[in-house]
Amino acid sequence: MTDLKGDGDTWQGHSIYLRFSGDKSVVLDTSNYQKVPCNKLQSGFWKLDEGYKEAMPWWTPESVNKAKCFESHTTQNRWTNQGHSSVLTDINSDIIYFYEIAP
């Protein structure tokens, strides 16, 4: 993996945004994920809060033309037994977008 960028916050849960590049040798373990249509990814993946928009000009999944998308609902932490992860892989550039929220 190269060019890792990330941002997020935590308060009795967490929100995490990561973007990184991986060549064809990078294998993502999506065994706990379901393949989904990209337009069905959770809204937090697409609609950033204002504070994030300013801090993360590199978060541009809407610019991807050809992608594979996955979601998981198995995230847990000490404060919640629920959570949600979304992954979008740009097939042409091998850029991977990852978003996770555990409220």
Identify which has the larger pLDDT, 55 or 77.
55
* pTM: predicted TM-score of the whole model, two decimal places: 0.85
User: Which residues lie across from 70 on neighbouring strands?
Assistant: 35, 87
H runs (alpha helix) in 1-103: 43-46, 50-55
pLDDT score recorded for residue 87: 92
pLDDT tens per residue across span 34-43: 999 999 998 8
- Whole-angstrom Cα distance, residue 80 to residue 102? 7
Judged on CB neighbours under 10 Å (0-12, 13-18, 19+), 56 is: middle
Identify which has the larger pLDDT, 3 or 77.
3
